[in-house]
A and B are shown apart, each in its own frame.
Chain A
Amino acid sequence: MKSDENPILRITALNKFYSGGFQALKDINLQIEKGEILALLGPNGAGKTTLISVVCGIVNPSSGSVSVDGFDIIKDFRKTRSIIGLVPQELTTDSFETVFNTVSFSRGLFGKPPSPSHIEKVLRSLSLWDKKDNMIMTLSGGMKRRVLIAKALSHEPTVLFLDEPTAGVDVSLRKDMWQIVRELKEEGVTIILTTHYIEEAEEIADRVGVINNGEIILIEEKEKLMEKLGKKQLILDLRDSLASVPDSMADYNLELSEDGMQLTYTFNTQGDRTGITALIDDLKLADIAFRDLNTTQSSLEDIFVNLVEESS
């Protein structure tokens, strides 16, 4: 029975214990809105694939509940699974089948009537149309990855799980994949992707979740996350070398480079005042001249590494 219109995915108090007692998921609570792209970041063995596998029906949950578009994934498995598409991490394909046949098979398996025109549309959008009669075993790794995406899209899902979709693919193909993901989002598809590549999350995600040791340690809109946890640094290239930071400027916590030619000032972007104006005034008073200055902002990667280190 449908319980709610929104969100498209609701995970409540989800736990997963494998035989042997290993707890892969610990009390996961997560909501995903229609049409958003959520990137789940986490190191190897963090629980990303287990989480996806539970939602898709491949792994049985130990406790907790999961609903997709308001339907429970166990009681209403037909409804939930028919709107979910899954691109697995491993390149698992039917080597001896043709591209067209394997994608058509997936459409049928998910309960949709044959539609050669839809299969053609999907294959064309993934640049696979000219390979439609090729046996999958003859395709390159990147092409096989595209075939897996085509299979996942064959039944017109509204929720798409991409489990490390760009693992092991070259830069050009990775950018193609990002474009495909953006186009799917424009069509209203909700996308949940797991990735090791922070750059990927930074590029395409609306929200970012970080999972470690089976726990979601953070979930935040990407922009807010960058603002909240991102540090900004002002780097000053000095005209003359300094032996040490003058005592009068101790409050700024400046870092002096080994050669004494560069000062780094770290400030909080969320603070009322950055302190930059005062710093420059004080530098003038201390008779420290600089040739150049620039600012840098910490990347999502820095934030991710810090979070995982803190939670481990």
Chain B
Amino acid sequence: MNIYGIMAIYKFEMARTRRTLVQSIVAPVITTSLYFIVFGAAIGSRIDQVGGISYGAFIVPGLIMLNLLTNSISNASFGIYFPKFVGTVYEMLSAPVSTLEVILGYVGAAASKAVILGIIILITAGFFIDLQIAHPVMMMVFILLTALSFSLFGFILGIWADNFEKLSVVPTLLVTPLVFLGGSFYSTDMLPEPWQTVSHFNPVLYLVSGLRWSFYEISEVSVMLSLASILIFMFSCLAVVYYLFKTGYKLRS
């Protein structure tokens, strides 16, 4: 295995984050703080408890999930799209690195950045609410699996996209609505039928539900179902990425 190759890609991608610290870390932290101020303090103070916990605390897993998903996708998609755009991808294609090694480098870095951001969001939340985490290990499992899966998804997006519009259309028009409608900021019990049933077709619901269970032991679907869905999604993405590299789709002519 080309360990030096994996490390080179990983370090290169992590260095890109250091160069764009404001965009990568500071901006999401400020956005999250605004969510807590608006939804947690201003509006949340007028909302009754949800599932036996304060509204401010209730939205923490949803906020973490929102940031994990959007950042995993944008980090990984940009990571592979930009070399394609400027032409430096020739170097990776001519290097002695396998598909798996390329994935480990790019997706590993994107997932690392998303996990670091998730932890920063968690710490930020601690400044606004009294945090309690019932199952910290399971919380980390959900955060890690979500970051990995959506980094893989972002990587696919980055390979598929051949312009900047395509790069942003999926996160903006698909992922963000799914997160907002996936119970991030409310319990689906609060919805009337048929929307309550429709919500169960939203895959993000299972992620938010699983992560919320790890915090407060309350969930909309069973934890095992949440875990199973994220694992199925991850392996599906892995299979697609493997196929893309094997066939050279949009990389090798």
Chain A residues with a Cβ under 8 A of chain B: 18-19, 56-60, 77-82, 84, 86, 88, 90, 92-97, 101, 104-114, 151
Chain B residues with a Cβ under 8 A of chain A: 2, 4-5, 7-9, 11-12, 15-16, 19, 86-88, 90-98, 248, 252-253
Please tell me if the beta carbons of B91 and A106 are within 8 angstroms of each other in the complex. yes
| Complex CA distance for A31 and B9, rounded to whole angstroms | 34
Please tell me if the beta carbons of A78 and B253 are within 8 angstroms of each other in the complex. no
| Complex CA distance for A192 and B252, rounded to whole angstroms | 22
Please tell me if the beta carbons of A92 and B96 are within 8 angstroms of each other in the complex. no
CB neighbours of B98 from chain A (8 A): 78
| Complex CA distance for A59 and B4, rounded to whole angstroms | 24
Q: In the complex where A59-B252, A90-B87 touch, is A109 in contact with B93 (Cβ < 8 A)?
A: no
- The 26 sampled A-B contact pairs (Cβ below 8 Å) are A18-B253, A56-B93, A56-B94, A57-B94, A58-B252, A60-B252, A78-B96, A81-B96, A88-B90, A90-B87, A92-B88, A93-B86, A94-B88, A101-B15, A104-B8, A108-B8, A109-B5, A109-B8, A109-B9, A109-B91, A109-B95, A110-B5, A110-B95, A110-B96, A111-B95, A111-B96
Please tell me if the beta carbons of B87 and A96 are within 8 angstroms of each other in the complex. no
| Complex CA distance for A57 and B96, rounded to whole angstroms | 9
CB neighbours of A57 from chain B (8 A): 93-94, 252
- Return the chain B residue nearest A83 by Cβ: B96
| Complex CA distance for A152 and B92, rounded to whole angstroms | 12
Please tell me if the beta carbons of B252 and A105 are within 8 angstroms of each other in the complex. no
Q: How far is the CB of B232 from chain A (nearest CB, A)?
A: 31
| Complex CA distance for A58 and B248, rounded to whole angstroms | 9
Q: Which 3 A-B pairs have the closest CB atoms?
A: A108-B8, A92-B87, A81-B96
Please tell me if the beta carbons of A108 and B5 are within 8 angstroms of each other in the complex. yes
- Return the chain B residue nearest A78 by Cβ: B96
Please tell me if the beta carbons of A109 and B97 are within 8 angstroms of each other in the complex. yes
CB < 8 Å neighbour of A82 from B12, B15, B16, B96: B96
| Complex CA distance for A101 and B8, rounded to whole angstroms | 10
Please tell me if the beta carbons of A84 and B94 are within 8 angstroms of each other in the complex. yes
CB neighbours of A78 from chain B (8 A): 2, 96, 98
- Return the chain A residue nearest B7 by Cβ: A108
| Complex CA distance for A95 and B253, rounded to whole angstroms | 25
CB neighbours of B19 from chain A (8 A): 96
Q: How far is the CB of A285 from chain B (nearest CB, A)?
A: 67
Known contacts A104-B8, A108-B11, then 15 further A-B pairs from the complex at CB < 8 Å, ordered by chain A residue: A57-B93, A58-B94, A58-B252, A60-B248, A77-B96, A81-B96, A84-B94, A92-B90, A97-B15, A101-B15, A107-B8, A108-B8, A109-B8, A109-B92, A109-B95
| Complex CA distance for A58 and B253, rounded to whole angstroms | 8
CB neighbours of A82 from chain B (8 A): 96
Please tell me if the beta carbons of B12 and A105 are within 8 angstroms of each other in the complex. yes
Q: Pick the most buried of B11, B86, B94: most chain A CB atoms within 10 A of its CB.
A: B94
Q: How far is the CB of A168 from chain B (nearest CB, A)?
A: 15
| Complex CA distance for A59 and B90, rounded to whole angstroms | 10
CB neighbours of A90 from chain B (8 A): 87
CB neighbours of B252 from chain A (8 A): 57-60
| Complex CA distance for A108 and B6, rounded to whole angstroms | 8
Q: How far is the CB of B21 from chain A (nearest CB, A)?
A: 13
